[in-house]
A and B are shown apart, each in its own frame.
Chain A
Amino acid sequence: MDFVVAQFLTGLASASSLFLVASGLSIIFGVSRIVNFAHGSFYMLGAYLGWTFVTNLPYGHLGFWGGVLAATVAVGLIGVAIEIVLLRRIYAAPELFQLLATFGVVLVVQDLTLAIWGPQDLLGPRAPGLRGAVEILGQRFPRYELLLIVVGPVVLGLLWLLFHRTRWGTLVRAATQDREMVGALGVDQKLLFTSVFFLGACLAGLGGALQLPREPVTLAMDLSIIADAFVVVVVGGMGSIAGAYLAALLIAELQAFMLVAPPFTVLGIEIVLSKMTLIPSFIVMAVVLIVRPYGLLGRPMAHARAVTGMIEPVVRPAPRELKLVGLATLAVLLLAPLAAGDYGLIVLTEIVIFVLFAASLHFIMGPGGMVSFGHAAYFGLGAYGAALAVKHFAAPMSVALILAPLAAGLGGVLFGWFVVRLSGVYLAMLTLAFAQIVWSIAFQWVEVTGGDNGILGVWPAEWASNAYAFYYLALVLCVAGALLLRRIIYAPLGYALRAGRDSPLRAEAIGIPVARIQWAAFTCAALFAGLAGGLFAFSKGSVFPTYVSIPRSVDALMMVLLGGVQTISGPIVGAIVYAGLHEQLSRLTDYWRLILGLAIIVLVLAFPQGIAGAAQRWWYRGKGEVA
């Protein structure tokens, strides 16, 4: 019993830490609809700045708490700077485009932190007076954890007072419900948004600084917290702060107690819960979203796009000139091997595979209006499908390349059925949950998938083993796939899909089964992502869980956003630019993340519609038409 109490208290302390970060994220999203990928970076900066302030201030109570406070405010100010310089300029851009901008910030912060604080982990100082432990029912419990247990609910209470007892809070809540109306009533929205961003960043900074006595300060803090924070926000219901606390509590306690759960057997497979610490939060999220599509305490939100006054442009057939550009590009790709050399071919092969991967994601994101944060699941299912066929059944490459899209398609059928029941960020997060579940199977089922050491020896068949042959194989399959996807957009399925995106109610009213159409489209996208994954496996000769990991999904998302969601050529342009930039920069300089991040930020500011979107606008403006 005493042990259960201690474990429960430990869970409470973790819940508080998680809540601080998640609440900031939730507040920012609630008002600005920005999915702030850089929130983890704020958390990390809070820890690093806190470390600097605390160790450089005179030691003692004032030193520690003064340092934490200074770090909190400093991170808030950094948040304000980012909001004013970057995000404010792109509020009018399509939904989720800001995600791309904040991803650029993540990359920049990673390299700056490394440059400023160096590579070694830093040991955070202990809080004065809270170093030791107290006895609780015979178990020793750290004093500092007791403090954390209190901090969470206190912050929750303060936030509640702030939102319900101040004029500012009232305005923020009003803006959360209807931004346009608040603006019409004469409230300075810019100031409101900036102040909300300040508060959110402060909370992340505080969360980071308060970790000092618990965790070392490391360069991996940003990415390790961000997925968890998103999960908490979504499980709680986006914009709901009480929900975030509830979700943090649920997940932290679950993780604390599963460490001591005895192994059990399901369908003859022994399940050791204490080995699966990363997954339960995603399973909780999947279950919660399936049962409650808006999280535990969330409510359906007004469509964020309303404020920008933008409607999706009608997809028109490409003008003759664009078709010519496309043909010219294809001709260049066909002739490229004459000049590219062996390595050039390797890079081109990778790029054409990414074009298909990005096109498949674009298919559900653009015409489908379903953003996926977990598209790597289908890429990975394809890669693993092919590799497993080769490894366990000695399948030839041709068979494996047929199995790859089938495996991914099956995944699409299964996961898609749940996914299409949701919308917006909830839908995106459910795809992420499924991707993480696939990842954990690839990672944990060592006997079959080889675990993190992957599957080696997945090399192409003899006839395709030469770089030229494999390039043409990839080119033919990927171009065919991308063209087929394009064809579907103009087919009845594509029209029905767009109808469902633009107005689900009207679409249903004229007899379009929106969910079923979306399900079919989702499966279709999974199929093509799987083909890309299968080709990728053979081009690399090996398959690893990294193919299914979050960064792979993020890459695909970045390609689509960079190219432009609402143009059919967008993913193609995006894949070429993003993969090309990454390839060039990573060879040129150690600080490639910094430069890639800055490049993304510049592109975001210059082309808020994506590169292809900007080109399209420019083209139609030249023609005197309105895009």
Chain B
Amino acid sequence: MKIRRRDFIAGAAATAALAGAPAIVRAQSATIKIGEINSYTTIPAFTLPYRNGWQLAVEEINAAGGVLGRKLEVISRDDAGKPEDAVRLAGELVNNEKVVLLAGTFLSHVGLAVSDYARQNKVYFMAAEPLSDAVTWAQGHKYCFRLRPSTYMQAAMLAEEAAKLPVKRWATVSPNYEYGQSAVKWFKELVQKKRPDVQFVAEQWPALGRIDAGATVQAIAQANPEGIFNVTFGPDLTNFVRQGNTRGLFEGRVVVSMLTGEPEYLDPLGDETPEGWIVTGYPWDQIDTPVHKAFREAYQKKFNDYPRVGSVVGYETFKSIAAAIKKAGSTDTEALIAASRGLVVDGVFGPYTFRAIDHQATLGAYVGKTALKNGRGVMVDWRYADGKDYLPPDDVVRQMRPDTT
């Protein structure tokens, strides 16, 4: 029934396009406005490469003639890391700028706030980066789609690797907020499902951005685990690694670590990058598929800098939006939603799908090991973990997603 309606809408749009040639001429002069919100001043290390990424995508799309014969115009706003500001700016973009849809956000709570605004005001929202599972599950709804692999997906990729190890005693260290809590919860659950013999002997919950690294390292060492699951990132990670290296925490222990292979977090570790950690990340300099090569070269040419994960997320977000508009054949919200369900996008990591069941994209991540080369950290022995293989079964998803509209 749905498919038929979608076909009807697409058909109707095509008919209208053929019949109303003058309308098209008018439409060509008008741009498609897209509202974009992110924490540019609060988390510049991630969001500035992200902005470069979407600027490149929009440039490419417009150079190829835009979508539906119209150019994309992005109106971008800084939420200063505050959900209440993001909601106000969403109102501004929708009411004043008359954008056809909203996109962006990095922090989970900001993403959820904008998502709830979208639900209330019936606006399409493409959540780019927020990792929280709630975005597509507990608080998921019709109007919200999410690009990046969720906390669950990234934890599942690492749990798979961790279960293969001979480790029986695990310790976890994780920033004390929703992302860290979910990551640890899923990791424990998924590892123990495959390996009922493992136990978790210590948990450390440093506050985000405020780790007391020496004391944390000492406390973990005290529990004498065989393996460590790390979720800290950014400055916390650097502190943790430095203290851990000096105090010998990582000697003879395996470490499995979320996001550490992403250039945003790996590069600041410099020559102190610990070797042999099993991580999720993005080996930007080693992926030589033609699509990725073209992306990397275009990016380096335009910005004289190498792409980060943020760059890919920004790039893919706007490529996905363009694909959705193209498939919908219009910028009408209902048509966009219908088109986005099951939308397949040919991304720089390979093709991915926005699942109809929970609006989560199956974009994956690279899983590999860290190593030191020429005084900087790199990923080695990596493989691409396709997101579609790291999502729970459909009936479980349905249980976790109360909003089925």
Contact = CB atoms under 8 A, between A and B. Distances in A.
B189 interface: no
Contacts of A443: 177
Nearest to B239: A215
B176 A275 contact: yes
A119 B117 CA distance: 30
A141 B247 contact: yes
- Give the contact-size bracket for chain B: 35 or more
Contact of B238 (A216, A219, A590, A593): A216
Contacts of A219: 44-45
A619 to B, nearest CB: 34
Contacts of A10: 212, 214-215, 218
Contact of A350 (B88, B216, B242): B88
Nearest to A589: B78
Contacts of A583: 88
Contacts of B87: 540-542
A209 to B, nearest CB: 16
Interface in A536-565: 536, 540-542, 544, 546-547, 551
Given A120-B268, A540-B87, A214 B112 contact: no
Given A343-B95, A452-B178, A133 B246 contact: yes
Nearest to A256: B215
Interface string B64-104: 00000000000001101011110111011001100000000
Contact of A451 (B113, B117, B177, B215): B177
A63 interface: no
A120 B91 contact: no
A457 interface: yes
Q: Pick from B78, B88, B132, B243 the residue with the most CB of A within 10 Å.
A: B88
A342 B91 contact: yes
B40 interface: yes
Contacts of B246: 131-133, 140, 142, 144
A452 to B, nearest CB: 5
B108 A452 contact: yes
Interface stretch (B162-170, B190-198, B201-209): B201-209
A29 B82 CA distance: 31
B247 A133 contact: yes
Contact of B219 (A144, A260, A541): A260
Q: Which of B132, B181, B238, B267 has the most CB atoms of chain A within a 10 A radius of its CB?
A: B238
Interface in B242-264: 242-243, 246-248, 264
Interface centre among B40, B139, B176 (most CB of A within 10 A): B176
B45 A586 contact: no
A459 B120 contact: yes
B40 A123 contact: no
Nearest to A440: B207
Contacts, number: 187
A438 B222 CA distance: 32
Nearest to B263: A120
Contact of B78 (A110, A120, A145, A586): A586
A145 B215 CA distance: 12
B270 interface: yes
A541 B120 contact: yes
A529 B246 CA distance: 49
B116 A259 contact: no
A132 B245 CA distance: 9
Contacts of B139: 453, 456
Contacts of B367: none
Contact of B109 (A341, A346, A453): A453
B216 A278 contact: no
A7 interface: yes
Contact of B113 (A7, A119, A456): A456
A431 interface: no
Contacts of B276: none
Contacts of B203: 274
B289 interface: no
A274 B246 CA distance: 23
A171 interface: no
B238 A255 contact: no
A142 B243 contact: yes
Given A142-B247, A453-B132, 7 more contacts: A123-B269, A131-B246, A218-B235, A277-B206, A343-B95, A346-B92, A451-B181
Interface of A: 3, 6-7, 10-11, 13-14, 110-111, 114, 119-123, 131-133, 139-142, 144-145, 213-216, 218-220, 224, 255-256, 259-260, 272, 274-275, 277-278, 341-343, 346-347, 350, 443-444, 446, 451-454, 456-457, 459, 536, 540-542, 544, 546-547, 551, 583, 586-587, 590, 592-593
Interface of B: 40-41, 44-45, 48, 77-78, 80, 82-85, 87-89, 91-92, 95-96, 108-109, 112-113, 116-117, 120, 132, 134, 139, 176-178, 181, 203-207, 209-210, 212-216, 218-219, 222, 234-235, 238-239, 242-243, 246-248, 264, 267-270, 272
Query: Which 7 interchain pairs have the tightest Cβ spacing?
Result: A119-B44, A342-B95, A10-B214, A256-B215, A216-B238, A121-B268, A343-B96
